[in-house]
Amino acid sequence: MSAYSPQPDTETQKSSQSYIVATAFLSLFALVGFAFYGLPFFFDFMTKEYGWSRTVVTSGNAVGKLLVGPLFGFIAGWLIDKYGPRRLMMAGVLMMGTALVGLSFASTLSLFYLFYIFNALGYVCGGPLPCQVLISRWFDKNRGKAMGIAYLGIGAGGAVVPLIAASLEKNLGWHNSLAILGILVVVIAFPMVFFIKGSSAKPPGDKKQEPTVPVKHILTNRNFYLLGIGSMCAIGVVGGINQHLKLFLRDLNYSQTEAAHVISLVLLSSLVGRVLMGWLADLIPRKYVMILIYLTVASVISLLLVPDFTGRIYIFAVIFGIGLGGDYMIIPLMAGDLFGVRTLGRTMGIILVADGVAESTFPMLLGALYDINRSYNMGFIVLICVALAGTLFISFLPRKKEEKA
C-alpha cells in the first residue's frame, strides 16, 4: 500500500472535510464515549458480584494500557503517519467491540485482563490518535474548530451511555447490557471508518507542504517533555475522577439512575467545554487555554472535599465537564503547533503512551488510597496537587508558534 499523498484539488473538498469530521465524531462517540466512559458504570456490579476491590476493578485499564501502550503506541503512530488511519481504525473498532462483549462475561481476573488488553488495543488503533491525525491533516485554518466538533463525539457518547446502560441493566441485567454496548460500538463506528477515502497530509488543494520535523529533533526538544509531562498530569487526574465517579456517588447513596444522570451531566457539559476551548484555541495562544483548563479541573475537585450542600455534586459535574471537554482536545492542537502535523502521528503516539500510563495508574492509586482509608479525601487532594503541577509544566511552554524551536 502506498504512503499518503495529497489528493487533487476538487470541488468536493468541503464535503470531504465534513465526512472526515463526521467519521472522527462517530469514532470518538463509540470508542471513547460509549466504551471508555461506559465501562466504569459497571464497576460497582463487578465489585458486588465478584467480590473484587476498587483497586482491582480499576486495574484492568492499567494492565491493558501498560502492556499495549509502550509496545504498540509508537508503532501505531508510525503506521498512521506512513499509511493513514483507515485500516488501523477499522481494526480498533472491531477490537473494542470484542472487548466489551468479552468483559460482559469475564468472571475471572485472567479473562478480565485479557479483554482489557483488547480494549487498550482498540483505543490505541481506533480512538483519539488516528482521529487527531485525520483532523490535523485535513484542516489548517480552522483546525481548532474541527477538532472541537469531532471531540463533541466523546461528550455526546459519554452523555447518553450511562442513561442507556442504566435502562438496559434494569431490564436485561448488567451482563447483557455491557455486551449490547459492545455491539453498538461496531454498528456506530465501523461503516463510516470503512468508507474513508485516502486523505491528504494537507487539505486537498493546499499547495504548501509543511516540512517534516525529524523525530530525533522532537525527542531532544524540551518542549516535548514539558507538553508530555503536563499532559500526563491532566489526563491522569481526569482519568482518576472518571473511573471512580460512579463508585463515589454510590458511596453517597445515589441510586443507579441518579448516578447515571450525574455522569451524563458531566459529559453533556464536556460538549460545552470542547466547543468553548476549541473556539478559544483559535483566538488566543493555546498555552493559555491549557492553563485555564488545568486550573479549572484542579479547583473544581476541591468541591468534593467540602461538606455537602444543595447542588454540590451537580455544580461539580458541570464545571468538571467543561474542563474535561477541553482537556483531551487541546493537547494535539498544541503538539501540532510545536512539531507540525506531518509528524503528529508519531508525536502524539509517544504522548498518548505516556498519557495512557497516567490515565491507567491514577485510578488504581485512587482506588488503593480508598481501600486503605475507606475515603476518597486523600486521593482527591493528591489529584489537585498533580493538576497544579501540570499547570506549572505547561506554563514553561512557548506562547507562540514562532517560539517553538
Residue by residue, DSSP assigns 50-66 as H---HHHHTHHHHHHHH
Residue 13 — very low, low, confident or very high, per pLDDT cuts 50/70/90? Answer: low
Q: Alpha-carbon distance 227 to 187, whole Å?
A: 35
Mean pLDDT of 95-101: 95
3-state secondary structure of 206: coil
pTM: 0.76
Distance CA 194, CA 26 (A): 12
Q: Which amino acid is at 20?
A: I
Of 316, 321, 233, 193, nearest in space to 269 by CA: 321
Which of left, alpha, beta for 139 (phi over 0: left; psi -120 to 50: alpha)? Answer: beta
Higher pLDDT, 251 or 72: 251
Share of the chain above pLDDT 70, in %: 87
pLDDT greater at residue 270 or residue 17: 270
What is the C-alpha to C-alpha distance for residues 20 and 150, in angstroms, rounded to an integer?
9
What lies within 8 Å, CB to CB, of 177 at 6+ separation is 42, 104, 165, 168, 169
Task: Characterize 273-303 residue by residue with b for buried, 16 or more Cβ atoms within 10 angstroms of its Cβ, and e for exposed.
Answer: bbbbbbebbbeebbbebbbbbbebbbebbeb
Tell me the HSE value of 129 on the side-chain side, using a 13 A CA sphere.
Answer: 37
- At residue 73, the pLDDT reads 65
**Which whole number is the average pLDDT over 135-141?**
75
**Max mean pLDDT range (29-43, 65-79, 131-145, 343-357):** 29-43
Quote the Cα angle for 392-390-388, to 5°.
Answer: 75
- Give burial (CB, 10 Å; 0-12/13-18/19+) of 107: exposed
Domain ranges of the chain: 17-201+213-403
Residue 157 three-state SS: helix
Residue 197 — very low, low, confident or very high, per pLDDT cuts 50/70/90? low
Query: CA 178 to CA 29: how far, in whole Å?
Result: 16
C-alpha grid cell, residue 355: 498519557
What is the residue-averaged pLDDT of the chain? 84
Q: Does domain 17-201+213-403 have CATH number 1.20.1250.20?
A: yes
- Least confident stretch, 92-101, 227-236, 335-344: 335-344
Question: What is the Cα 228 distance to its own chain's centre?
Answer: 15
Query: Which residue bears the cell 491507567?
Result: 360
